Amino acid sequence: MAILVMIYGQSGSGKSTSLRNFKPEQVSVVNVLGKPFPFRFNGLKGAVSDDYGAIANLLCKTPKQSIVIDDATYLMSNEFVRTAKQIGYQKFTDMAANFKGLLDLAKSLPSNKIIYIMGHMERDNDGNEKFKTIGKMLDEKICVEGLFTIVLKTVVQDGKYYFSTQNTGSDVSKSPMGMFDSQLIDNDLAMVDKTIREYYGLPANDAAPAKNNEKE
């Protein structure tokens, strides 16, 4: 069973930038919107797709031990736009089922895999922060954060970018006891990946095995 990690936060708060220290042979990236990475080119590329079937195929075929889906919020919002002319609530049920199905597939991958689901943040009327979904019906059908043991929120303080590792009382950040040394850590996802693997006794994320037909 693979480990799922949620990374969420406001636009421009460092989600995609956190990929900067991954080596290309360490990670497969699904670039949902096809945007350029917000850092100097280091060889890292992404497979551009917002199609659940294509993403599922990549998840199952990539030999790499770490996988990032960036930005998963747009999987739902793009599907919502495509079905905008459909009347009724069935489309929301379908969106929930498609997203939950992707998470279930990711979780079913081998135990040496870590899958990072990146997405935007939204606040409710009381100021509480959560992973952004589409419509109240979706929230009623899925408590997305409840499917993850590790949820990191991007934080910007004094021009520096961090991950928040623990709940502040108004968000959904969380991580296992003793995994991280402090509440705020550098927004370096390669470092986070190394820390998670050491915590759970997983193999180090070194070079990928022999090549396959993965397109990036």
High-pLDDT (> 90) share of the chain, %: 65
| 196-202 long-range Cβ contacts below 8 angstroms, 24+ apart | 196/3, 196/5, 196/114, 196/150, 197/114, 200/3, 202/3, 202/111, 202/112, 202/114
Angle between helices 52-61 and 90-107 (to 10 degrees): 10
For β-strands 160-164 and 150-157, DSSP reports them as antiparallel
Over the stretch 144-188, which tens digit does the pLDDT of each residue have? 888 999 999 999 999 999 999 999 888 999 999 999 999 999 999
Residue 76 is predicted with a pLDDT of 84
This prediction has a pTM of 0.90
Q: How much is the mean pLDDT over the chain? A: 88
Distances (CA, A) of 125 to 122, 130, 170, 188, 211: 10, 12, 12, 31, 49
Residue 132 is predicted with a pLDDT of 84
Identify the structural domains of the chain with CATH numbers, from first to last: 3-169+191-200 (3.40.50.300)
Local confidence band at 92 (pLDDT 50, 70, 90 cut-offs):
confident
Are the C-beta atoms of residues 155 and 9 closer than 8 Å to each other? yes
Over the stretch 13-65, which tens digit does the pLDDT of each residue have? 999 999 999 999 999 999 999 999 999 999 999 999 999 999 999 999 999 99
- Report which of residues 192 and 73 the model is more confident about: 192
Local confidence band at 71 (pLDDT 50, 70, 90 cut-offs):
confident
Q: Which two tokens stand for residue 42?
A: 């280091």
